[in-house]
Amino acid sequence: MLQTADAVQAVREGQSLTAVLARCPQELRPGTQALSFHVLRLLGGAQAARAQLAPKTPPPKVDSLLTVALALLWPVATPPYGDHTVVDQAVSAARKRAPASAGFVNAVLRRFLREREAVVQAAQRELQGEFNHPPWWIERLRQDWPDQWQAVLRANNEHPPMSLRVNVRNGDAPAYVQRLAATGIAARVLGALAPQAVVLERAVPVTALPGFAEGEVSVQDAAAQLAAPLVVQAWQDLGPLAAGARVLDACAAPGGKTAHLLELADLELQALDTDPQRLVRVQENLDRLRQRASLKAADARDTAAWWDGRLFDAILLDAPCSASGIVRRHPDVRWLRRPGDIAQLAAIQAELLEALWPTLKPGGRLVYATCSVFKAEGQDQVDAFLQRHSDASPVQVQGFTGHLLPLADNGPQAGAGVSVVDGFFYALLVKN
């Protein structure tokens, strides 16, 4: 509980949960991550409840501990712990962290249990308390998706399914599902949307996956598995990429899409990323899958620093974005982003498109992707690019291009009311 309180406070102060968990003692990391995810999905309501029960904000260390305990006591279908356990552990944690506040913590939590229904109802009268997202985020979603915004917000608080990508060079999805069943892991084939995708009934460690170490399977969300086929396969009047085609993966880390491209076709692949450390992860992925690509640490916008002047047959631009489509996998994202971030990210995306377009051959294709549900980072961005470039034509591919929302009716379901896919945007552009 202390580690979780520290993690939640760090996120409130603008630190990534991934970075915080990396500093957590290894034996406490899995439990801290699970509890932090739970709390961050309920943070709006828990903060509103704390403000009701203790209107004078306590010191940060006590406030974060109280907020964590309130989130763990929040009425949900399957509470992680019993009420008595949460209160007992919160008071014990307070005695270690701020001994003078232990009685205060005890009193607040016991009052919450007595008045829980009324406190929760009051907290949920505020949009942030009801949907557990910042008000500016809720308003932007409401403007972009007037009919779906509430469903998207609720979907963001679901537990995402674990999806796998079977390496097409080693086997197919139906055969792999049978291998999983033989080891006691229940799974199913996703189907036409992503034919190599397998969805697990419940998450397991990668070490439990048969053939993982040998590169036979990778962990990748089903929506992310749409990128590589868009780049290499035939669509409408576009033929498939020829063997040996020169391809750029412009923002490659952590390398899932890079590897998928090489699984689908024999390519001369150049992978870029601004962070050398993140490229190490890409190389590890490629090594496990026994694939090869040329990796370079560079800002894709600075073509003079990395481009040799040879035009590319295809480009995958998986651009930096708000990550608003993958909030259920990264519940800290909504609390880390600020309203001004979207315009700043959209400006970077536009700069990347402008810098990379001249490196593409006439007749070549560029796939623009973001894991965002905000139109400023998706359709609006592409529409503006098309206005600026008369030599660019969009190719519409049913089920692939456009905004993909993380909703159960926007593709196959992982279970009752849970979408298989994260929120993504894809555009396929051809150079005339």
**d(Cα 156, Cα 158) in Å, to the nearest integer?**
6
371 annotated active-site: yes
Query: What angle in degrees, to the nearest 10, is found between the helix axes of 60-73 and 2-12?
Result: 110
**d(Cα 257, Cα 369) in Å, to the nearest integer?**
11
Contacts of 428 (CB under 8 A, 6+ apart): 230, 235, 365, 366, 367, 394, 395, 396, 397, 400, 401
Q: In terms of Cα–Cα distance, which of 76, 84, 69, 82 is closest to 39?
A: 69
Contact indicator for 257, 224 with CB cutoff of 8 Å: yes
Catalytic residue among 24, 251, 321, 371: 371
**d(Cα 6, Cα 1) in Å, to the nearest integer?**
9
**d(Cα 154, Cα 156) in Å, to the nearest integer?**
5
Which of the residues are catalytic? 371
